[in-house]
Chains A and B, each alone.
Chain A
Amino acid sequence: MTATLAGVGAALPERVLNNDDFAHLDTSDEWIVQRTGIRERRRLADDASLAELAALACDRALSDAGVVPRDIHHVVVATSTADRISPGMAVEVGTRLGIDRPAAFDVSAGCSGFVYALDHAIAVIESGRSEHVLVCGAEALSRITDHTDRNTAVLLGDGAGAVVVSRSPESLRPVFVLGSDGAQIGLLYVGQDRLLRMSGREIFASAVNAMADHTQLVLERCGLRPDDLDLLVAHQANARIVQAVARRLGVRADQVFLNVDKVANTSSASIPLALAHAHDRRLLQPGAVVGLTAFGAGLSWGAGVITWKAPGAAGPPRGAGEAPRSRGRR
């Protein structure tokens, strides 16, 4: 038994900040675009609920997968910016979706959090304990941004993305590799002052190395070549990092998805948001082989290969007669 990505959804706050909104930090649109590829990012209102945004992304993922809440027994949310320190945001997300008493918890693994959560979901399905698992990445990074630091303030955005992971009898078996190195914790962290600190140059180099090397490793373990990937979705920290990873792997530009221009770095939300936007642009066909790779605070990293909407995946119960819950715009 194996697992596939069965559906995806995204939700973004309405407020858009463009690069000109950071002119007071003595930076410019040209500088930001050249070094990061970022043109705009979203900002969650100070009094808004991140759990509400996460639940909206999850609802859209359930609709896309054709899975109803009663079929979900596990909800995992990757986040470092939850509304409350405890309990995990997944509990509230499950309740908002009308899921009946699911196993629900949060994962904190920096920008790698979504890949960690996805790896867990796959293990739950492969062990036969569940047919569908809901995995969400949601961040309000504006809550941990030093808004006076031009080196980080321009990079970060808010948003949520979610996938439904479903049992699939026939698809390529997902292969994931996760890791961490606490010896380099000081390069990227959120401390007691609740503000994100980053040594940009070292993180750039470490991110390129880790994402390229571990993507290569999972491809080898799958018996695939870089050319076999239908789409590579890397953590959208910075377009220059993603392009450097692509060069190192030798993948074509059309195999690599980028939406960092529209959403900036959304940490744990980055990969599911990118998957949702790739889906919107019709870049994911059923059966597509997708590479995922992430890197972040820890240092932590995770890379994997999984099939998009593998044929024969467990779907909604036949004859249940329930329409998908919503068809809202992403």
Chain B
Amino acid sequence: MTDRALTRGAIEEFVIDTMVKLGIDRGSISLDVSFDDLGVDSLHVTELGQAVDRELGVPVRATDLEETRSLREALDLICAKASL
């Protein structure tokens, strides 16, 4: 995916697909639901950051997402790292 121009929409799609791969039910995913309510814990968030770093080429470190509490907050941070 690194060859493709990154947009916020593409990153959002990637983030949701990644959470589904990590075992989160796609039907329950909404950007504004809290991680606690989604069943997303700190290790899921770490894996999300790793996937973004490796597969999208956006430089996210293991600790960068630790303060985020929802997918929207994570998405905002990732987009900032991607200068979007």
* Beta-carbon contacts under 8 Å, B19-49 to A: 21, 41-43, 46-47, 49
Q: When the two chains form their complex, are residues B66 and A208 in contact, meaning their CB atoms are under 8 A apart?
A: no
Say whether chain A's binding surface is mostly helix, strand, loop, or mixed. helix
Instruction: Produce 1/0 per residue, A208-251, CB < 8 A to B.
Output: 11000000000000000000000000000000100010010000
Residues A208 and B50 in contact in the complex (CB < 8 Å), given A201-B63, A201-B66, A202-B63: yes
* Interface of chain B, main secondary structure: helix
Which residues of chain A come closer than 8 Å to B66, judged between CB atoms? 201
Q: How extensive is the interface on chain B, given as a class? A: 10 to 19
Which residues of chain B are within 8 angstroms of A247 by Cβ–Cβ distance? 21
Size band of the interface chain A makes with B = 10 to 19
Question: How long is the Cα–Cα vector from A34 to B43 in the complex, in angstroms?
Answer: 10
B10 at the interface (CB under 8 A from A): no
| Contact for B50 among A34, A209, A240, CB less than 8 A | A209
- Chain B residues whose C-beta falls within 8 Å of the C-beta of A35 in the assembled complex: 41-43
B62 at the interface (CB under 8 A from A): yes
Complex Cα spacing A202 to B61, Å: 8
A204 and B41 alpha carbons, distance in the complex (Å): 13
Given contact pairs A202-B63, A247-B21, A34 touches B47 in the complex (Cβ within 8 A): no
| A205 in contact with B21 (CB, 8 Å) | no
Task: List the B residue with the shortest CB-CB distance to A200.
Answer: B42
Q: Mark A130-146, 1 if CB is under 8 A from B, else 0.
A: 00000000000000000
Q: A201-B66, A204-B62, A247-B21 are in contact. Are A34 and B41 (CB under 8 A)?
A: yes
CB <8 Å contact, B49 and A205 = yes
Q: Are B43 and A204 in contact (CB under 8 A)?
A: yes
Q: How far is the CA of A313 from the CA of B66 in the complex (A)?
A: 51
Residues of A within 8 A of B (CB): 34-35, 201-202, 204-206, 208-209, 240, 244, 247
Instruction: Tell me the B residues contacting A by CB distance below 8 Å.
Output: 21, 41-43, 46-47, 49-50, 61-63, 66
Q: Can you spell out 17 A-B residue pairs with CB atoms less than 8 angstroms apart? A: A34-B41, A35-B41, A201-B42, A201-B46, A201-B62, A201-B63, A201-B66, A202-B62, A204-B43, A204-B46, A205-B46, A205-B61, A205-B62, A208-B47, A209-B50, A240-B43, A244-B47
